[in-house]
Amino acid sequence: MTVQQDKRPVLVACALPDAALAVLNDAFDVTVVTTPERPEPEQVVAMAQGKEILLLSVTLRLTRELIERLPDSIRGVATYSVGYEHVDMDACRNRGLAVFNTPDVLTDAVAEVGLLLLLGAARRAREAATLILDGQWTGWQPTQLNGVELAGKSLGIFGMGRIGRSIAHRARAFGMAIHYSNRRRLPPELEAGAHFHADPTSLLTTSDALMLACPASEETRYFLDTKRLALMKPGAIVANVSRGNVVVDDALIAALQTGRIRAAGLDVFDGEPRFDKRYLALPNVFMLPHIGSSTIETRVRMAESLRDGLLTWAGGATPSNRIDIKGG
Ligand code: DGY
């Protein structure tokens, strides 16, 4: 088939669900690296020969060194993720590589996990699950595992992008009052009645629950430190769907140990998949292994997003998911 001959050669350097791979296979001439779960730089360099696109995810750090070693045939990098802090963008710009990601399509999935984290933390889901799974449950008691309700509480969202707004939408349905802090104030139609805090300090002092939903950046790195945690209401809840390095683990663990912070819901960890093992000893931490975007619907949409972006780019236009690399 002629379409077959026109297909652009893509090297896939991450493990993808079959349904997502099928989307890419339909549109491109796909080769998957030999060990996609643990892509090795050497293997990627060797297998990228003659390929036009390198498709990877957060499981491979695309460092300057690796970028410089890529063959000249590579013209584009597509990351199967919305975050792209694992890609050295300066080095991509210097090499003239176009970079694509998957914004929008994982918003709902991550927002759902945001609510799961809030509920899990507020309603002591980890302790409750442990009690029943360990066979220790002896029957209902009015004193048993009393948590706090989300209804009537204030939710402070740090980072009111698509995911933050989607969490706000759901939290309103739970009866929460929405506050937010963001680099820029949103227009009224996106703010939807949420209260803007130009200074994150006032967000922290106002919120019964804090949701970290910001992108990872130099600005947000280790944002939630001892000083800022001390500003939060006693008994507040912290949830993180952003990146682990937005939180200083030492600070959060200390606040959870004393109960100054009632509970935390964490889907992301600094240095993951390694994480601070002290979290394991804290029953008031409801923790998940970075499953924010892990739905089959989202995984397929992520593949479609990259497929559409790459095909649009191949056709000479600029798709909305081509990352505008600043600087230089
Ligand atoms: C993303 O797409 O950025 C997810 O968090 C996976 O890292």
The string of DSSP codes covering 234-285 is TTEEEEE-S-GGGB-HHHHHHHHHHTSEEEEEES--TTTTS--GGGGG-TTE
Residue 295's pLDDT band (cuts 50, 70, 90): very high
Q: Which of 60, 87, 101, 106 to mutate to test the pocket of ligand 1 (most atoms within 8 A of CB)?
A: 106
CA distance 276 to 318: 41
Torsion of CA 92, 71, 60, 214, to 10 degrees: 20
Residue 62: DSSP 8-state:
B
| pLDDT given for residue 102 in this prediction | 98
Atom of ligand 1 nearest to the CA of 110: 5
CA distance 83 to 220: 14
pLDDT, mean of residues 39-43: 97
Q: Mind telling me the catalytic residues?
A: 243, 272, 290
242 lines ligand 1 (CB under 6 A): no
106 lines ligand 1 (CB under 6 A): yes
Cα-based angle 179, 181, 183 (whole degrees, multiple of 5): 150
How far is ligand 1, taken at its centre, from the CA of residue 8, in Å? 25
pLDDT, mean of residues 283-289: 98
Per-residue pLDDT at 1 exceeds 60: no
Q: Which residue lies with its CA nearest to atom 4 of ligand 1?
A: 81
CA distance 114 to 208: 15
State residue 182 phi and psi, 5-degree precision: -155, 160
**How do the residues of the chain divide into helix, strand and coil, expressed in percent and rounded to 5?**
40, 15, 45
293 lines ligand 1 (CB under 6 A): yes
Beta carbons of 55 and 11 less than 8 angstroms apart: yes
Beta carbons of 100 and 322 less than 8 angstroms apart: yes
Domains (range + CATH), the chain: 9-104+295-314 (3.40.50.720), 107-287 (3.40.50.720)
292 lines ligand 1 (CB under 6 A): yes
How far is ligand 1, taken at its centre, from the CA of residue 58, in Å? 7
Q: Give the residue among 243, 276, 220, 275 at the shortest CA–CA distance from 86.
A: 243
Return mean pLDDT, the chain. 96
82 lines ligand 1 (CB under 6 A): yes
Per-residue pLDDT at 116 exceeds 80: yes
Residue 51 in tokens: 């390929």
Q: Give the residue among 40, 43, 39, 12 at the shortest CA–CA distance from 28.
A: 12
| pLDDT given for residue 327 in this prediction | 59
Per-residue pLDDT at 318 exceeds 50: yes
Q: Which of 162, 293, 294 to mutate to test the pocket of ligand 1 (most atoms within 8 A of CB)?
A: 293
Instruction: Give the pLDDT confidence of 118-155 residue by residue, as tens digits.
Output: 999 999 999 999 999 999 999 999 999 999 999 999 99
81 lines ligand 1 (CB under 6 A): yes
Q: Which residue lies with its CA nearest to atom 2 of ligand 1?
A: 81
Secondary structure element (H or E) that encloses residue 32, with its range: strand 28-32
Burial of residue 273 (number of CB atoms within 10 Å: 0-12, 13-18, 19+): exposed
Per-residue pLDDT at 159 exceeds 80: yes
Residue 328's pLDDT band (cuts 50, 70, 90): very low
Q: Which of 82, 242, 298 to mutate to test the pocket of ligand 1 (most atoms within 8 A of CB)?
A: 82
How far is ligand 1, taken at its centre, from the CA of residue 56, in Å? 12
